[in-house]
Amino acid sequence: MHAALAGPLLAALFATARARPQPPDGGQCRLPGSQRELNSFLWTIRRDPPAYLFGTIHVPYTRVWDFIPDNSKAAFQASARVYFELDLTDPYTISALASCQLLPHGENLQDVLPQDLYWRLKRHLDYVKLMMPSWMTPAQRGKGLYADYLFNAIAGNWERKRPVWVMLMVNSLTETDVRSRGVPVLDLYLAQQAEKMKKSTGAVERVEEQCHPLNGLNFSQV
C-alpha cells in the first residue's frame, strides 16, 4: 500500500516497493551489517517543512521492520501528518473492499469458472481448512484465534467472489501466511502507530479506485 509522511506539515505518499524474494526455507532474510547497507525507499520533497515519500509493502510488519533504516523511522516520527493509500482503520474501507470483490447480479463462482477448475479450487480449499489447525501458532491460539474462525476470515463467502480476488485469496492461504495472521501488515501498523501518536492521517485513494482496475480484468487475463 501507499502512505505519506510530512514534517510539521506532512504531505507525502508511500510508494509501493517490491518484496525481496524469501529464502528457500521461508525464514527471515539476513540482516544487513550496517545501516548503510539498507535501502530506505525514502524520498525527500524539498520544501519547508519537508515532506517525504516512503515505499511500503503488503506483508506483516515484523518481517520487514528490522530492515527499515533509521532515517525512515525518524521521518515518520517527525511527521505531523501521514497519508496512506487507503484508510485501513476506517470500517467503511474494510466493508467497501469486501463488497467490491463480489460477483455482480448474485452470480456464483461456479457460474463463471470452468467446472474442472472450480472443483480443483474447492478441493484445495477443503485441504487448507483441514490443515489450518496444524498451521496455527501457539501465540495465535493464545489470542483466542481458532482455525475455523481464521479460515472464514480469509476465505469466507469465496464462492461469491470474482476470480481475481479468489486468486489473491488463494495466494495468501499458505502455511507461512496463515502463521502470520494477527500481525498487521506494514501499512496498517504505521497507521495504528500514527493514531497512537495523535498524528493527522488521511488517504489518497478511494476503494473504488483500487477495485475497478482489478474488476476490469477479463477471465483470460486473470
With a pLDDT cut of 90, the percent of the chain lying above it is: 59
The rounded mean pLDDT for the chain is 84
Cα 72 from Cα 207, distance rounded (Å): 27
Q: What are the tens digits of pLDDT across the range 27-64?
A: 555 656 666 656 678 999 999 989 999 988 788 999 99
pLDDT (0 to 100) of residue 219: 77
Mean pLDDT of 151-172: 94
Whether pLDDT at 4 is above 90 = no
Whether pLDDT at 70 is above 50 = yes
Distances (CA, A) of 175 to 71, 97, 158, 171: 33, 24, 19, 11
Q: What are the tens digits of pLDDT across the range 117-151?
A: 999 999 999 999 999 999 999 999 998 889 999 99
Q: Which residue has the higher pLDDT, 19 or 141?
A: 141
Could you give the angle at the alpha carbon of 90 between the alpha carbons of 89 and 96, nearest 5°?
A: 125
Distances (CA, A) of 135 to 50, 59, 177, 217: 45, 18, 9, 33
pLDDT (0 to 100) of residue 30: 61
Whether pLDDT at 83 is above 90 = yes
Cα 202 from Cα 211, distance rounded (Å): 19
Mean pLDDT of 169-198: 93
* Of the candidate ranges 21-35, 81-95, 169-183, the one whose mean pLDDT is the lowest: 21-35
pLDDT (0 to 100) of residue 222: 77
DSSP 155: H
Whether pLDDT at 23 is above 80 = no
Mean pLDDT of 154-172: 94
pLDDT (0 to 100) of residue 221: 79
DSSP string, 67-84: GS-HHHHHHHHH-SEEEE
Cα 72 from Cα 79, distance rounded (Å): 11
Mean pLDDT of 95-104: 93
Q: pLDDT tier at 18 (50, 70, 90 boundaries)? A: very low
